[in-house]
């Protein structure tokens, strides 16, 4: 946080944050009743179960799918899963010759992303810790709305939005 951001906090009637750890930090600066955890969500008009054509299934389906940047830890993880049908979308995957036939650099958003979520057997959610400690991205919500299975790293905030052992493991 930048000093001017902290100085502005008393000016707000209520502060919403997307990370439970940040909520606790803010509650040390403000009355707790003025700070709330605001979780991510999805758009049910966009993220929904679809009937895919056979061509879409062939083009988009895979055992393991990941959409996002190829940071070194993600490259190593995906290289360790090559015994499975892995498909990757995003930038930086060309840093690994082992993944050369498994990634696409084309942008993925809107209906195409929804179709990928519907086609994947397992959609992996690898979050950056640069901006969040315990917060979660929209991906688990979007995948769930598409009827898919999302494998996500452990984040405390997931339990605030999903029922542990029933909706998440």
Residue-wise pLDDT tens digits, 115-151? 999 999 999 998 776 767 888 889 999 999 999 999 9
Least Cα distance to 153 among 162, 140, 165, 143 occurs for 140
The Cβ-side half-sphere exposure at 61, using a 13 Å CA radius, reads 10
Give the pLDDT confidence score for residue 5 in this predicted structure.
79
Residue 1: which pLDDT band, with cuts at 50, 70 and 90? low
- Yes or no: say if 67 and 108 are a contact pair by the CB < 8 Å rule: yes
- Please list the residues that pair with 103 across neighbouring strands: 88
C-alpha to C-alpha distances, 59 to 24, 56, 105, 127, nearest whole angstrom: 44, 5, 15, 26
Residue-wise pLDDT tens digits, 60-81? 999 999 999 999 999 999 999 9
Tokens representing residue 101 in the block: 């036939």
Tokens representing residue 128 in the block: 């950056």
Least Cα distance to 136 among 2, 21, 13 occurs for 21
Give the pLDDT confidence score for residue 124 in this predicted structure.
95
Q: What is the DSSP letter of 152?
A: E
Unique residue bearing structure tokens 């830890």? 73
Tokens representing residue 166 in the block: 């029933």
Q: Which residue has the higher pLDDT, 165 or 78?
A: 78
Give the pLDDT confidence score for residue 166 in this predicted structure.
84
Distance between CA atoms of 73 and 1, rounded to whole angstroms? Answer: 26
Distance between CA atoms of 13 and 99, rounded to whole angstroms? Answer: 49
Q: What is the DSSP letter of 164?
A: B
């Amino acid at each position: 946080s930048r000093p001017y951001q902290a100085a502005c906090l008393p000016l707000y009637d209520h502060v919403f944050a997307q990370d439970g750890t940040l909520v606790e930090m803010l509650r040390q600066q403000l009355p707790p009743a003025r700070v709330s955890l605001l979780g991510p969500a999805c758009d049910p008009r966009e993220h929904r179960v679809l009937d895919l054509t056979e061509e879409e299934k062939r083009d988009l389906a895979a055992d393991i799918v990941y959409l996002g940047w190829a940071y070194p830890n993600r490259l190593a993880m995906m290289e360790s899963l090559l015994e499975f049908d892995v498909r990757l979308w995003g930038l930086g995957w060309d840093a690994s010759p082992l993944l050369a036939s498994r990634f696409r650099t084309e942008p993925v958003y809107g209906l195409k992303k929804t179709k990928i979520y519907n086609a994947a057997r397992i959609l992996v959610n690898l979050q950056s810790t640069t901006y969040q400690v315990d917060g979660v991205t929209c991906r688990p919500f979007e995948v769930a709305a598409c009827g898919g299975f999302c494998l996500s790293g452990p984040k405390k905030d997931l339990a605030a939005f999903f029922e542990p052992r029933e909706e998440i493991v």
